[in-house]
Chain A
Amino acid sequence: MKRHLRAAAAAVILAAAGVHAETVLNVGMSAADVSQLDPDRATTTQDKPLTSWLYNGLVRFKPGSASLETLEPDLAERWESTPDKLTWTFHLRKGVKFHGDFGALTADDVVFSLKRAADSKTSSFSGDYASIESVEALDPSTVRIKLKQAVPFFLGLVTNYHGGMIVSRKAVEKLGDNFRLNPIGTGPFKFEAYKPNESVTFVANKDYFRGAPKIDRIVYRLIPADSARDLAFTSGELDIVYGRQDQKWAERFKKESGVIVDVLRPAELGMLHLNMTVKPLDDKRVRQAIAHAINRQQIVSFKGDLTADPPVSVVPAGYLGTDAKAPLATYDVAKAKALLKEAGFANGITVKAIQSTLPSMLNTAQILQAQLKLAGIDLQLETVDHQTFHANIRKDLSGAVYYTAARFPVADVPLTQFFHSRSIVGTPTAVINFSHCAVADKEIDAARSEPDLAKQKELWATAQKKILDEVCAVPLFEQLQVWAHKSNIDFGYKLVDAIHLGPQITELTTKK
């Protein structure tokens, strides 16, 4: 009570003196450090939210949404495309300034940014931009992009996400490698300071084209210890905190007064990928038996229904092109045993899996192990540390691979990376097709160049059905993102989804 009175008295005195008390937003993240703030290289959970405060795209996800179907203008105020959707013209908003002394945004910056995003030497997302044939500035405020072939939902590539974020050409050329931790964008907040292993500070960009932000400063604190982060949030030293993907954590903070727990999409989809080139998984009946022996509801109950959802397909729910009615195998142990017997394995089978020791992954794998045991399937887990797990599964060394991932929310991305033959691990074009699945290449490729959205969705639905029918992988659960914020924080929009894996702080965000 005394503390509140003192704070109120201080506020009155400051207001009377005409002094503006600085509004500082303290955000706590579960990481020891940030890696980089270059949008073409920022791939980690701790880096991504920051890029959304710093940069804009030509178009943007509505704040609080991860849907591609509700995109809105950002740096481009309007755009048009040819009927074949191979040529796109964007008209830039006038009077947009980069942070610092890097001048006004021009079409040249957009050309530079998109070419940079497409270059594997400077971008981790170059593969996504491989279909771009040319990007040119028609005049200082008009950009034309030509595609080699139609791209599934092209606008997604020029959003305020990954390589779609627009950087200042002058800044990149001047700062060189140092740009990664001295980012220059056009967003509502500009970079102020980076303290290794401690914090990153941002200040309001008073020249922001949508208006000056109401928050003066954001301190992004890097707190790797869960307990310390939780205590700092409880003690009021943090306003927004990265939570734990854990039911008990969500339940505990839901009960605290003045705290709002945010459970957000896009979700990470957990799947068990079955390597169809190794015995006995090369027999479809064996893979079907595994699918029937897995009790998805039990896994979701274990994960907690506040923080996890049952899967709907091999593509996470809510992505553009997810088939919400995909035919998932029913839980039926008797049927699993019958299928094994039919395949000539009446005495059961053994499947080897390289498994990360990361606790959240290992405990799920152990549940799978127990469930499969009931059907006579011995899932042998070869546990290794998380980095070795990543290295070895890419060498095609595992029979089954339990993997969780969130991707750009369009079906093409997970379908191509996990199930297209081009992505099979151990090949020169490998991504993360652990199962050697190749049954839906035709549909995935056709959907990429299909200009009609309805037909495109049909092709993706067929691809998902074929992949599930072939049992390339068994979807297990969807893990949602968990954050929490104090009730005196108003984001200025309805926070439902977080495409950047964290709440977007905009010019409208306030702290009372």
Chain B
Amino acid sequence: MLRFVVNRLLLALPTLWAVLTLVFVLVRVVPGDPTIVVLGDQATPEARAALRQRLGLDKPILAQYADFMVQIARGDLGRSLVTNRPITTDVAAVLPYTIELTLAALVIGSLIGVPLGVVAAQKRDGFVDWLARIVSLAGLSFPAFVSGILLLIAFAVELRWFPVISTVTSTDPLSRLRALALPSINLGLIMVAYVTRVTRSGMLKALSDDYVRTARAKGLPNRLVVWRHALRNVLIPIVTVVGLYLGVLIGNAVLTEIVFNRPGLGKLIVSALNQRDYSLLQGLMVVTALAVVVANILTDLTYGLVDPRVKAS
């Protein structure tokens, strides 16, 4: 098992290097001059040149690349161009919010999506199947900002069950949960859509396989056939979707965090982009890339848990 993990980590290194290089290049081809953002539109060219020099933006591009790689190797993400705060501090401040939101969305997605997909496959073309299809279609087609606003109007403005601003100001678990509810439902609905579809199609195939027919012929109760035998075989594609979904989730987390005004990596990315904060943008992309690599490793490890054949190979 340890060897498996080490292998995965070593394989991740070239991926990380490629991602870091891409990040470095992308951030520098983003149009615009950060000095205008920092100094305002009335600053003289002289003042802008002085700032560019102070920030090291006047150095040759290869020197900037070398500085960047050395810095990352030291585990230092640098300082924000705009606020001059260490980027690790800013990231550490918001990362728990993003992790909390992501996990909550994953839990909602799995707890609703898997049973819904299973029942839909069992009752093919029945009421539950239609409902599952509509839910998953809606989840896939509604942009996160539209569903977010609809949720806010219904549950925050009209019913006043939840706050519009999902900023957590207290350490009370109940108020944290209240602030987390709407954003995680919003993000979770998209997850429900993905998981329901994959579960339903996987289950449809599994339920027509020979081993299921054999199980039924042996007289096993339907509950055991469906939930223990068939579902277990469908778990691999479900885990894959959940793992891959983390990438999609980060994209949607940006919108969700903006609409619900919730702190997080997504909101920080938008802020860095708006302010042309190259350093912060670089740091955030590095953190995001790391998160995706770690999620992929975790997904690989989960395969081993749900399917003994993977562990053996």
Residues of chain A having any CB pair with chain B under 8 Å:
32-33, 35-36, 41, 43-44, 120-121, 124-127, 177-178, 180-181, 195-199, 221-225, 227-228, 231-232, 234-235, 237, 384-388, 390-391, 405, 407, 417, 428-432
Known: A35-B38, A197-B263, A390-B36. A235 touches B258 (CB 8 A): no
Q: B44 and A387: CB pair below 8 A?
A: no
**Bound CA–CA A333/B160 (angstroms):** 55
Kindly list chain B residues whose C-beta atoms are within 8 Å of the C-beta of A391: 31-33, 36
**Bound CA–CA A234/B42 (angstroms):** 36
Known: A235-B164, A417-B42. A388 touches B31 (CB 8 A): yes
Q: Which residue in B160, B167, B261, B271 is a CB contact (below 8 Å) of A235?
A: B160
Known: A120-B44, A221-B165, A237-B165. A197 touches B271 (CB 8 A): yes
Q: A385 and B31: CB pair below 8 A?
A: yes
Q: B36 and A232: CB pair below 8 A?
A: no
What are the 3 tightest A-B residue pairs by CB atom distance, in nearest-first order?
A: A387-B32, A43-B40, A32-B271
Residue of A33, A178, A221, A384 with most partner-chain B CB within 10 A: A33
Q: B32 and A120: CB pair below 8 A?
A: no
Kindly list chain A residues whose C-beta atoms are within 8 Å of the C-beta of B47: 120, 124, 126
Q: A178 and B84: CB pair below 8 A?
A: yes
Nearest CB on B from A117, distance (A) = 13
Within residues 1 to 55 of chain B, which ones have a CB less than 8 A from any CB in chain A? 30-33, 36-47, 50
**Bound CA–CA A298/B145 (angstroms):** 34
Nearest CB on B from A387, distance (A) = 2
Binds A, one of B150-158, B186-194, B242-250, B286-294: B150-158
**Bound CA–CA A170/B258 (angstroms):** 38
Q: Which residue in B32, B44, B149, B270 is a CB contact (below 8 Å) of A385?
A: B32
Q: Which residue in B42, B84, B157 is a CB contact (below 8 Å) of A127?
A: B42
Q: Which residue in A41, A177, A195, A221 is a CB contact (below 8 Å) of B93?
A: A195
Q: A33 and B271: CB pair below 8 A?
A: yes
Q: B153 and A231: CB pair below 8 A?
A: yes
Q: B274 and A428: CB pair below 8 A?
A: no
Nearest CB on B from A453, distance (A) = 25
Q: B50 and A387: CB pair below 8 A?
A: no
Kindly list chain B residues whose C-beta atoms are within 8 Å of the C-beta of A431: 42, 44
Q: A390 and B41: CB pair below 8 A?
A: yes
With CB as the reference atom, state the residue of chain B lying closest to A42: B40
Q: How large is the interface on B (under 10, 10 to 19, 20 to 34, 35 or more residues)?
A: 35 or more
Q: Which residue in B36, B44, B84 is a CB contact (below 8 Å) of A429?
A: B44
B133 within 8 A of A: no
Kindly list chain A residues whose C-beta atoms are within 8 Å of the C-beta of B263: 195-198
Q: Which residue in A36, A196, A232, A387 is a CB contact (below 8 Å) of B268?
A: A196
Kindly list chain A residues whose C-beta atoms are within 8 Å of the C-beta of B274: 32
Q: B167 and A198: CB pair below 8 A?
A: yes
Q: A432 and B40: CB pair below 8 A?
A: no
Kindly list chain A residues whose C-beta atoms are within 8 Å of the C-beta of B46: 120, 428
Q: A196 and B85: CB pair below 8 A?
A: yes
Q: Which residue in A124, A178, A405 is a CB contact (below 8 Å) of B39?
A: A124
Q: A124 and B40: CB pair below 8 A?
A: yes
B276 within 8 A of A: yes
Chain B 151-193: CB-based contact to A (< 8 A → 1; otherwise 0)? 0110011001001110100000000000000000000000000
**Bound CA–CA A428/B163 (angstroms):** 52
B82 within 8 A of A: yes
Q: A384 and B42: CB pair below 8 A?
A: no
Residue of B30, B37, B40, B90 with most partner-chain A CB within 10 A: B40
B241 within 8 A of A: no
With CB as the reference atom, state the residue of chain A lying closest to B263: A198
Q: Which residue in B45, B165, B259 is a CB contact (below 8 Å) of A227?
A: B259
Nearest CB on A from B140, distance (A) = 22
B83 within 8 A of A: yes
With CB as the reference atom, state the residue of chain A lying closest to B160: A235
Known: A180-B84, A391-B32. A428 touches B45 (CB 8 A): yes
Q: A237 and B32: CB pair below 8 A?
A: no
Kindly list chain B residues whose C-beta atoms are within 8 Å of the C-beta of A429: 44-45
Q: B157 and A196: CB pair below 8 A?
A: no
Q: Which residue in B31, B93, B149, B165 is a CB contact (below 8 Å) of A196?
A: B93
Q: Which residue in A43, A120, A196, A237 is a CB contact (below 8 Å) of B94?
A: A196
Q: A181 and B83: CB pair below 8 A?
A: yes
**Bound CA–CA A227/B148 (angstroms):** 10
Residue contacts A-B, CB under 8 angstroms, 28 given? A33-B82, A35-B275, A36-B82, A44-B40, A120-B50, A124-B40, A177-B84, A181-B83, A196-B268, A197-B264, A197-B271, A198-B167, A222-B261, A224-B258, A224-B270, A225-B259, A228-B259, A228-B260, A231-B153, A234-B157, A237-B164, A385-B31, A385-B32, A390-B33, A390-B36, A391-B32, A417-B42, A428-B46
Kindly list chain A residues whose C-beta atoms are within 8 Å of the C-beta of B33: 387, 390-391
Q: B90 and A121: CB pair below 8 A?
A: no
Residue of A35, A36, A127, A195 with most partner-chain B CB within 10 A: A35
**Bound CA–CA A198/B96 (angstroms):** 14
Nearest CB on B from A298, distance (A) = 28
Nearest CB on A from B127, distance (A) = 34
